[in-house]
Amino acid sequence: MFSKRLSLALFFLLSACALFEERKGPPSNFGPREQVYYATFEEVWRASNLVLQPYPLRVSNMDQGILETDSVRGFKVWTPPFKPDSGTAGQAYKLTLKILKGKFGAKAATKVSILKDASNQRDFFSDPKPIPTDGLEEKTLLYRIGREIQLERMISKAQQKKK
């Protein structure tokens, strides 16, 4: 009887520790995130501009297919869900979107690449050092671009049915 109680208590004690284990974010990466959308270049360009509205844009060149944000300090625009605290004042990042027009068979296809250049400057006198990114912001932006394209298509389809 005592051994059953002891083993039951030990089981609950050891299994309860896993409940309070700290969750870690995804692995860090330096490379770009990419996705291909089966939409025209103009649709993807419009959706990308809508998604980047909260960011300060530095370059918006439709002919070359480049959108680039100005330097964003800390986590002023986007905060990861697993980091409740904001970063240090020396953290900054810049997003670069490259949009390439193409075709997949007879369908229009457009590839979007997002590169996040993140850096951390420890103090005023030190040089900024590149830091890896977790990729969540880039994946979120790619998802939102896809959703904007879907919404635009649904709205145009609804307007055509009205006519």
pLDDT for res 81: 72
Helix (H), strand (E), coil (C) string for 82-133: CCCCCCCCCEEEEEEEEEEEEEECCEEEEEEEEEEEEEECCCCCCCCEEECE
Is residue 48 within 8 Å of residue 149, measured between CB atoms? no
List, for residues 25-57, the tens digit of each pLDDT value. 555 566 789 999 999 999 999 999 999 999 999
Q: Does residue 57 contact residue 69 with C-beta atoms inside 8 Å?
A: yes
CB-count exposure of residue 103 (10 Å: 0-12, 13-18, 19+): exposed
Asked if pLDDT for residue 128 goes beyond 80, the answer is: yes
**Which has the minimum average pLDDT: 15-24, 66-75, 79-88, 98-107?**
15-24
Separation CA 86–CA 63 (nearest Å): 36
What pTM does this model have?
A: 0.76
Residue 11, exposed/middle/buried by CB under 10 A (0-12, 13-18, 19+)? exposed
CB within 8 A of 14, min separation 6: which ones?
none
Section 109-125 average pLDDT? 90
Report the mean per-residue pLDDT for the chain: 84
- Stretch among 28-42, 76-90, 108-122, 134-148 having the lowest mean pLDDT: 76-90
- What pLDDT, in 10s, does the model give residues 59-82? 999 999 999 999 988 767 777 777
Write down the domain spans for the chain. 25-162
**Best CA proximity match to 28, nearest among 132, 115, 114:** 132
Q: Give me the mean pLDDT over the 84-92 stretch.
A: 72
Which CATH architecture best describes the domain 25-162? Answer: 2-Layer Sandwich (3.30)
Predicted local confidence at residue 157, as pLDDT: 94
pLDDT at 11: 65
